[in-house]
Structure 1
């Protein structure tokens, strides 16, 4: 798998040959987070080319970290699952994330904004349980983005995966969240609270009073948001 060898027997060097090729750790983050199909993984690593994604998945298969399984009833469709060796990497991935939250400067993180990645991450941390039993549609509007990347819709229904749309799904919108991309990223990462962003006018929330009132219960933040930053 390695694109270059350290020629060292040290376990750190041997593991690095597998894990430290470009995009590999980020791809593992997606697999640990639960993405399993090729298109799901693409949405979690939107700047990775499909060809490189295919290669990295094959590399991880060869290393015994990922296995590919056919989807029952799906013609020529596969999903990717972590093997025991892959699942053993979860605390490693989480530890790297905790370190990054603690020690990477805030401004350095906020220079790398990506609405599609942010919305994909937000989608999987929505908690439908405190929301109405009926379908809820939440539109997120990034006022500072070009038209093609400005509007996003989260479709939430009890007992189903949260859907993310970048094209209007045609449902009545129950709640609007209007802000700029940096502010939403700051909220998601735990750098600023939603209430504080609303108070200073950087976040506008309109629509269902219930959804707005319960925002903190269903709008999950980054799993690293509770980690205190140790650098500004």
Structure 2
């Protein structure tokens, strides 16, 4: 999921310094799966399955299934956050900016009638 998310990074929206995001993804009754995104000012984005060795700036705690829906574009990040499925913490400015760093896919409109 984090590997796919890195494909949606909007480099022009990133801070001018390296930012490290740690994801703690819940899978039902299993231990959290951890992954990291390292976002660099030189438009280099790395997805890591082992800690990258840098200080963490932003923490994202999420239900894995719900985060998959957000990345796939069948749910929105705002809705997932409001429902308590996703939480973003860390440096206040970076945590607030996090949603703007990605070109999120959006759910298809529902048919009317």
* TM-score, normalisation: structure 2: 0.82
Decide whether the 8 Å contact of 1:120 with 1:164 is kept in 2: yes
Gaps of 5+ in 1: 1-117
Question: Structure 1 segments of 4 or more deviating over 6 A?
Answer: none
Gaps of 5+ in 2: none
- Which of 1 and 2 has higher RCO (CA within 8 Å, sep 6+)? 2
Task: Decide which structure has greater helix share.
Answer: 1
Shift of 1:144: 1.7
CA distance in 2 between partners of 1:166 and 1:153 (Å): 7
- Per the alignment, residue 53 of structure 2 pairs with 170
Shift of 1:220: 2.5
Task: Decide which structure has greater strand share.
Answer: 2
Paired residue total? 110
| Correspondence for 2:82 among 178, 185, 199 | 199
Q: SS at 1:164's partner residue? A: strand
Max Rg structure: 1
Q: SS at 1:167's partner residue? A: coil
* TM-score, normalisation: structure 1: 0.43
- Per the alignment, residue 8 of structure 2 pairs with 125
> Which digits, 9 at most, give the CA deviation of each residue in 1:161-207, with x for residues without a partner?
20010001121111011011111011112222212221221111100
